[in-house]
Amino acid sequence: DFDWTKNERSSFYYGTFPTGFSWGAGTSAYQTEGAWNIDGKGISIWDVFAHKKGKIFSNDTGDSSCEGYYKFKMDIVINALSGEHINEKGIKYYDELINMLLENKITPVVTLYHWDLPQVLQEKYGGWQNVSMVNYFNDFANLCFERFGNRVKYWITFNNPWSIAVEGFETGEHAPGLKLKGTGAYKAAHHIIKAHAKVWHTYDVQWRSKQKGLVGISLTADWGEPVDITNQRDIEAAERYIQFYLGWFATPIFNGDYPQVMKDYIGRKSGQQGLGASRLPVFSSQEKSYIKGTCDFLGLGHFTTRYVTQKNYPSGLGDSYFTDRDLAELVDPQWPDPGSEWLYSVPWGFRRLLNFVKTQYGNPMIYVTENGVSEKMLCTDLCDNWRMQYFKDYINEMLKAIKDGVNVKGYTAWSLLDNFEWDEGFSERFGLYYVDFRNKNKPRYPKASVQFYKRIISSNGFPNQREVESWKRKSVETCSSSNQLLAADPLIGHMEMVTEIVVPTVCTLCILLSAVFLMFLLRGRL
Ligand SMILES: CCCCCCCCCCCCC/C=C/[C@@H](O)[C@@H](N)CO[C@@H]1O[C@H](CO)[C@H](O)[C@H](O)[C@H]1O
């Protein structure tokens, strides 16, 4: 069992990762591609949500975003870190993307669902509130296995189902923007877990022997640390925090059913509300055994930590996912928080979370799929010291976890590029590369952190103190010149406008005027 009382916070560990450890940087379709209505692409729930006024910071949309649909070839070069109707143009785009990744010796790890459900499925069936999504998602996954599976060997069914369920159907901050408090998130999660399991079985039965790939799911979770490690009630509250976050999805997939503590708490509160059944749906015994074991590897997204303490929420006063947990979340004001208001840098929480996964789910193979830190929109400093510090410390805690025996096989930094940060629009930047969204060409500029991350990758870790300390210095040296280029960008943008709009317009006018003048001249002569 996980030992809650052991909280060792050791100093920096110099050493390297096991040979063959994988390194990467992540992106997602809606957040980077743009081209929202091009080449026959259907409309997704995020297209519709972002077009509604007042849903996204500054009413930003992902309509053009980083223009990744057009610029992916360039992005692959910079990433060289060491239904019924099938849209063939879309298939061609992903074909080329995958081929180009492979040509550049980058292994594609493909996420089938990163939140952009076709809007038609939302309108017709209620999206993830409806069990019919299980079959639709399975058809889609099957098509992807058929078309891309000869080249893609790592498949992730869902990215961060916690956010899909809670932010999409409980708080309504994400698409489809529904506030079905205390029921919607549980129902969505139930169907997502079933859909995941079905897709894993489809791969297992129809494709695995030919394609020899792996299918996993990517779960995101914060770490929850008891406020008082000697207080049993705080320890139990912290464990509930994790079980309602990670365990909600991981326990059915690894152990066959929802965490007991979720069944107990939601069941009791539903009873107190006078409901005949728990708001947490129930898996039949057949479903439990079908779902159990449907994970070849666990993708793990992790960004931050909370202190947790017991807090009772009497039933009947606005029941929700949040009040079902009977806990309060706290943060230490000393923790650095450079960007998103929910994101505090607490590296030691990462090692604790990884060890929790090891003890709870039988030490599965883990790929860290998302980990990173943002800065606010107005920050245009490419010398991102705080991000270098974040990556250095979080990656180091992951290394310590590997030394503890956790089976981590790879790490993906979030994110390759600044991009559309969901309800925060473009106001929070997570990228290793800065994207100038003011310029229609969306130029990319390397931040110091990408140089730093490249050094971690090429050394496969942190060889010794002297070398690691020199990395920051060297990375900052290169970012000052990029800062100058970025500062000149409005000027370049202005010059581009002059060459692309003003000059052609003036030339056209000149030609027209000359033609009119010539006509007058000829008329006079005749
Ligand atoms: C008792 C009542 C309390 C009510 C409190 C309600 C407030 C809840 C708000 C929840 C906000 C959680 C925000 C955290 C989200 C992250 O886990 C999530 N963003 C991680 O997902 C990935 O994030 C990346 C960067 O943010 C990136 O956008 C990626 O696409 C996501 O997968």
340, 342, 369, 424, best to mutate for ligand 1 pocket (most atoms within 8 Å of CB): 342
**CA dihedral over 197, 23, 306, 420, signed as positive or negative:** negative
DSSP string across 455-483: HHHHHTEE--HHHHHHHHHHHHHHHHHHH
Q: Which atom of ligand 1 is nearest to the CA of 160?
A: 32
SS3 of 253-316: the string is HHHCCCCHHHHHHHHHHHHHCCCCCCCCCCCCHHHHHHHCCCCCCEEEECCCEEEEEECCCCCC
Could you tell me the distance, in angstroms and rounded to a whole number, from the CA of residue 163 to the centre of ligand 1? 6
What distance in Å separates the CA atoms of residue 477 and residue 383, rounded to the nearest whole number?
9
What distance in Å separates the CA atoms of residue 368 and residue 243, rounded to the nearest whole number?
19
Task: With residue 434 as reference, give the H or E element that holds it.
Answer: strand 433-435
- Ligand 1: does its nearest atom lie under 6 Å from the Cβ of 171? yes
Q: Which atom of ligand 1 is nearest to the CA of 372?
A: 25
Could you tell me the distance, in angstroms and rounded to a whole number, from the CA of residue 175 to the centre of ligand 1? 13
| Beta bridge partners of residue 38, listed in sequence order | none
Q: Which active-site residues does the annotation give?
A: 370
CA distances from 403 to 5, 16, 81 (A): 19, 10, 25
Q: Is 416 helix (H, G, I), strand (E, B) or coil?
A: coil
pTM of the model: 0.93
- Ligand 1: does its nearest atom lie under 6 Å from the Cβ of 370? yes
Among protein residues, the one whose CA lies closest to atom 14 of ligand 1: 342
Could you tell me the distance, in angstroms and rounded to a whole number, from the CA of residue 19 to the centre of ligand 1? 33
CA torsion angle for 124, 126, 130, 133 (degrees, to 10)? 60
Task: With residue 109 as reference, give the H or E element that holds it.
Answer: strand 109-113
Q: Is 24 helix (H, G, I), strand (E, B) or coil?
A: strand
Check residue 44 and give its pLDDT.
98
Could you tell me the distance, in angstroms and rounded to a whole number, from the CA of residue 289 to the centre of ligand 1? 31
- Ligand 1: does its nearest atom lie under 6 Å from the Cβ of 160? yes
- Ligand 1: does its nearest atom lie under 6 Å from the Cβ of 421? yes
Check residue 377 and give its pLDDT.
62
Structure tokens at 30: 């809606």
Check residue 507 and give its pLDDT.
65
Among left, alpha and beta (phi > 0; psi -120 to 50; other), residue 320 is beta
- Ligand 1: does its nearest atom lie under 6 Å from the Cβ of 342? yes
422, 427, 429, best to mutate for ligand 1 pocket (most atoms within 8 Å of CB): 422
CA distances from 411 to 348, 426, 453, 457 (A): 17, 25, 11, 10
Could you tell me the distance, in angstroms and rounded to a whole number, from the CA of residue 418 to the centre of ligand 1? 17
Among protein residues, the one whose CA lies closest to atom 13 of ligand 1: 342
109, 156, 163, best to mutate for ligand 1 pocket (most atoms within 8 Å of CB): 163
Local mean pLDDT, 10-residue blocks, the chain (526 residues) = 87 97 98 96 97 97 97 82 77 97 97 98 98 98 98 98 98 98 98 99 98 98 97 98 99 98 98 96 98 98 98 90 98 95 98 98 98 82 94 98 98 98 96 95 96 97 96 88 81 57 67 78 71
Q: Is 248 helix (H, G, I), strand (E, B) or coil?
A: helix
What distance in Å separates the CA atoms of residue 369 and residue 23, rounded to the nearest whole number?
10
CB distance 241 to 307 below 8 Å: no
Could you tell me the distance, in angstroms and rounded to a whole number, from the CA of residue 159 to the centre of ligand 1? 13
CB distance 408 to 398 below 8 Å: yes
Please determine, for the modelled complex, whether the ipTM score is greater than 0.85.
Answer: yes
Q: Is 159 helix (H, G, I), strand (E, B) or coil?
A: strand
Check residue 352 and give its pLDDT.
98
300, 305, 370, 375, best to mutate for ligand 1 pocket (most atoms within 8 Å of CB): 370
CA nearest neighbour of 136 among 49, 61, 27, 42: 42
SS3 of 327-375: the string is EEEECCCCCCCCCCCCCCCCCHHHHHHHHHHHHHCCCCCEEEEECCCCE
Among protein residues, the one whose CA lies closest to atom 7 of ligand 1: 171
